[in-house]
Amino acid sequence: MRLDRFLSETTPLTRSLAKRALKNGEVTLNGDPIKQAATQIDTGNDEVLLNGERLTLVGLRYLMMHKPADVECTARRGLYPRVIDIIDVPKVERLQPVGRLDVDTTGLLLLTDDGQWSHRVTSPRHRCAKVYVAELADPMEDETAEWAVEQVAQGILLEGEETPTHPAILRFVTPKKAELTITEGRYHQVKRMFAALGNHVTALHRHSVGDVVLPDDLAPGEWRELTPEEIASF
């Protein structure tokens, strides 16, 4: 990798600021001062120091966050803080949410800069199960609840769509609280499924994605790296 690119990948410096740091003699390569931005370096073996500090490339990253309400999954700045605003890691803007949650939805959010892995998790072909807990405006009991469970198991035609949802699993915890397991990630899917059942979601929380479950000790706004087993589970 070119030295100026290596500097911009491993520090907050842009390519032009990296060139300036080189010119100013702030960089050493294997102990010797270096000024040529075009120098090719072996990122695995060469030792590059900026003002005496060793630089290393950030590898692919895999994180989980307990997304709080009123935080957005978008990349652009908007009305609310973004999830990447509350994660303190270098080059945080490279992390992409793996399937978005609405601004008012809480719970498990995965983030990565590995596009292929993200695709494996989100592609409907892979049928990765996501479990949501929804609080409902209106109680659903007895035959209504049974009917809803059946509808969800068969697939529901959402407003404005032409193909029904994949068969999903609905389980009522109480008449106003239900757990829904889906294997797709259509736009506002859970809220629209309950709307199609004549109800309204007043609060939504994602409990798990595939085998990865939100840990009880991860408070809203907290995040941690995924374990190698969690990464490999998709």
Q: Which residues of the chain form contacts with ligand URA (CB under 6 A)?
A: 101-102, 105, 188-191, 204
Type of residue numbered 42? D
Closer Cβ to ligand URA, 173 or 203, answer by number: 203
Catalytic residue among 46, 102, 104, 114: 102
Q: How far is the CB of 127 from ligand URA (least distance, A)?
A: 16
Q: How far is the CB of 191 from ligand URA (least distance, A)?
A: 4
Q: How far is the CB of 15 from ligand URA (least distance, A)?
A: 37
Closer Cβ to ligand URA, 29 or 103, answer by number: 103
What span, in angstroms and rounded, lies between the C-alpha atoms of 228 and 225? 9
- Half-sphere exposure (Cβ direction) of 226: Cα atoms closer than 13 Å: 26
What span, in angstroms and rounded, lies between the C-alpha atoms of 7 and 35? 12
What span, in angstroms and rounded, lies between the C-alpha atoms of 231 and 151? 33
Closer Cβ to ligand URA, 18 or 101, answer by number: 101
Contact 13, 5 (CB under 8 A): no
Of 62, 187, 65, the C-alpha closest to 120 is: 62
Q: How far is the CB of 40 from ligand URA (least distance, A)?
A: 45
Whether 217 sits among the annotated catalytic residues: the reply is no
Of 226, 185, 183, the C-alpha closest to 65 is: 226
Closer Cβ to ligand URA, 22 or 196, answer by number: 196
What span, in angstroms and rounded, lies between the C-alpha atoms of 185 and 177? 21
Q: Where in the sequence numbering do the catalytic residues fall?
A: 102
